[in-house]
Structure 1
Amino acid sequence: MQPKARKAYVPGLAALLVVVAAGCSGGGATDGAVTDTKPGGPTTATTAQPGKYRTLREPCGSVPRSMLKDLLPGAASLPEDQQTKVYQGTASVTYDTDRRVGCGWKATSLDASNQLMIDLERVVSYDPAVSDADRAQEVYAKKETAAGLPSSPASASGTPSGTPSASGTGTGAGTNTAPGTTTQTGSPSGSGNPSGTPSGTPTGSGSGTPSDGTTPDGLEPRVLDSLGDVAFLDDVLARAGAAAQQRTVSVVFRTSNVIVTVRYTEQPAHPTVVPDSKELQDKARGLARTLNEQLNE
C-alpha cells in the first residue's frame, strides 16, 4: 500500500514544480509599458504633449500705464480719480480664469471715443492624440477664416508643420466686445504707438487713411509675421451711427496653446473725420507684441 501512495504523490509534486517554474520564467515588460496580449501583437499607447501654458496672467494689469495713456487719450483730461478708474479697466466675466480672461477700457475726449479690449484663451485638448497646441491652431484657423482676409488662408504663414490648416475642425473661440461681456470673434495685432498725434485726426501723410474711408495700400487686413507662432490683422471701417464713422483694428495671434486677441476701436466726434488706419494699426500691433513678450517671460 505504501509504494502505491508514493507513486500517486510524485506526479503531483512534479506538476506543482512545473507551474512554479513557469511563473518565475514568464516574460513580462520591465519598462512599465502597457502591452496588449490579444491577437494582433503588442501595442503601446501614446499621449500628445500638453500645452506650454497651464495658467493665464491677470489681464487688466497686463497693459502698461504708458500704453494706456497713448491708446486712450481722452483719459488725460479727466480728474485724477477718474483717470485711475479708466486705467484700471473692467475685467471680462468668465467662468474659469485658468482658461479664459479678458479686460476692456474706454475713454472719450472732445475729438473721439476710444475703446480697447484684450482677450486671452488657453486651449486644452481633451483628445489624447491631439496636443493642446494643435487644438489651439484649429481654433485660431477658424478665427482667421472668419475674418475673411483678402489673401492667404489661415495656414499660409508661420503655421508649424503638422498643425491643422484653416479647414480644421476646431471649436470656435471668443473675444470680448466690451468691458464685462464675453462674446465670440477673432482678430487683433499691433505694433509701435506714435505719440503726439491727436486721436481720430488723420496724419496728413501718404500712409494715412484716404478721405473715402478705404484702407491704404499695404495696410489691408493681412497675415502678420514675427508675432507668436501665427498672427493676422483685421481692419474694419463701419458707421456706428448717422453722425460718425468707426474703425476697429483687431490683432489675433497664437503662442503655443494660448490665443490672444487685441481689439482697438476709434470713433471720431466729427462725422467727416475718418479714423487713421496706420495709427490704429501701429498702436494695436505694439500692444500685441507687448502681450506676446509677457507670455514668453
Structure 2
Amino acid sequence: MLITVLAVAGLGGCTGSDSATDPDDGASGDSGTAVSAEPGRYRTLPEACGAVSRKTLQALLPGAEQDDKVYDGQAAVTYDIDRRDGCRWKVETTSGTRYLTLDFQRVVSYDPSVSDDDRAQETYEKKAVAADIPDATSTPASPSGSESGSGGDAGGEGGSSASASSSADEPGKSSKGDKGDEAGTGDKADEGGKSADSPSAGADASGGSDESDTDSEDTAPRRLDDLGDDAFLNDQLITKDSGIHRDITVVFRSSNVIATIEYDQWTTDKKHIPSSQELQESAQDLADELTGRLNE
C-alpha cells in the first residue's frame, strides 16, 4: 500500500515539473504577430467633373460662356469611382481650342508590408520618370519653345517636342513652370484641324512668336516643391501640318491619391505659339485648388 502511494506521488511530481516549463515553450509566440502597413489618408475620391469651381473653369476655358454646357464636362468611364475618376472639358473659339483633362487615382497597396502612401509614391515616381522629369538634384531640361519641332499627338511621347535655345539654370524643384506629355491626352491627336486659324491667346500684336527664349528658364519641365507631397510639371510644344499646340501637365501626389491635370491650347496659326507661362500658371492654380478639395 505504501509503495502504491509513493508511486502516485512520484508521477504527480513529474507532471508538475513538465507543466512548469510550458510558459517558456510558448514565449516565442509573439514573434509571429504580423504588423500591417498604415493605410492611406483617403478612402474616397471627389467627383472629377464637380471638383473644379465655375470661376476656375471660366478662367481656363475662355469663350465657354457662349455654351454653358461646356462647364459640365464629360465624365470618364470608370468602374469604381472610389478608386479612379476623371473628367474632360473642351471649348472651341475663334482664338483656337482648349482642352482640360482631370484624373484622380486612389492607390491601394495589397501588400501588408507596404503602405498605401509608399505604393502611391512609387506610382508617382514612375510617371515622373516616364515624362523625363529631372530629379530634385539635377538641372531641368529647357522647355520646348520652337515651332520647328516635329509633330506628335497631344500628350505624345516625351522628347518629341522641339527644344528651346537655352536651358533652365534652376536645379530640381521649383514653384512655377512648364510641361511635357502625359498619358491620357493622345485622343486629341485627330482634332488638331478643328481649331480656328486666328492667333492663340498670348500672341503679340506684331504677328511674331510670343514665346521663345524669354521665359524658358522659368518654365522648364521640373519638380514642384510647394504642391502636395510630391509634384512635377511638364511642357510640350508640338507642331503639325494642321497646326500647333502646347500641352501642359501637372501631376501631384497627396498621401495615397495622385491627381493629373492636362491643359492644352491648339491653334492653326503657327506664327503665334501658345504661352508657356500663361498655361503653366493656370494649371498650377488649378492644382492648388484641387489639393484643397481633397482635404475637404
* Aligned mates of 2:217, 2:127 — CA distance in 1: 23
Q: CA deviation at 1:74?
A: 2.9
**Are residues 1:64 and 2:53 paired?**
yes
Residue 97 (structure 1) aligns with: 81
Task: State, as a whole percentage, how many aligned pairs show the same letter.
Answer: 39
* Aligned mates of 2:199, 2:121 — CA distance in 1: 35
Q: Tell me whether 141-150 or 100-109 shows the greater mean CA deviation.
A: 141-150
TM-score, normalised on structure 2? Answer: 0.70
Residue 93 (structure 2) aligns with: 109
User: Aligned-pair RMSD on alpha carbons?
Assistant: 3.4
**Are residues 1:119 and 2:71 paired?**
no
**Are residues 1:295 and 2:294 paired?**
yes
Residue 193 (structure 1) aligns with: none
* Aligned mates of 2:4, 2:173 — CA distance in 1: 81
Give the aligned length: 244
Q: CA deviation at 1:91?
A: 1.3
SS in 2 for 1:105: strand
Q: What letter is aligned with 1:142?
A: K
* Aligned mates of 1:43, 1:87 — CA distance in 2: 55
Q: CA deviation at 1:87?
A: 1.2
Q: 2:185 aligns with which of 177, 180, 193?
A: 177
Q: CA deviation at 1:212?
A: 5.0
Task: Could you tell me which runs of 5 or more consecutive residues in structure 2 were left unpaired when the two chains were aligned.
Answer: 139-171, 175-181, 188-197
* Aligned mates of 2:15, 2:97 — CA distance in 1: 86
Residue 274 (structure 1) aligns with: 273
Q: 1:128 aligns with which of 97, 112, 119?
A: 112
* Aligned mates of 1:58, 1:28 — CA distance in 2: 56
* Aligned mates of 1:199, 1:56 — CA distance in 2: 38
Q: 2:132 aligns with which of 126, 148, 153?
A: 148
* Aligned mates of 2:20, 2:246 — CA distance in 1: 77
* Aligned mates of 2:82, 2:9 — CA distance in 1: 64
Q: What letter is aligned with 2:23?
A: G
Task: Could you tell me which runs of 5 or more consecutive residues in structure 1 were left unpaired when the two chains were aligned.
Answer: 159-173, 180-197
SS in 2 for 1:55: coil
Give the alignment of 1:247-266 within 5 angstroms. 247-266=246-265
* Aligned mates of 2:238, 2:199 — CA distance in 1: 17
Q: CA deviation at 1:200?
A: 2.6
TM-score, normalised on structure 1? Answer: 0.70
Q: Tell me whether 143-152 or 122-131 shows the greater mean CA deviation.
A: 143-152
* Aligned mates of 1:144, 1:111 — CA distance in 2: 32
1:63-99 CA distance string (max 9 Å, x none): 0011111111131223xxxx22x21111111232221
**Are residues 1:11 and 2:7 paired?**
yes
SS in 2 for 1:285: helix
Q: CA deviation at 1:233?
A: 0.4
Change (3 A) 1:20 1:74: farther
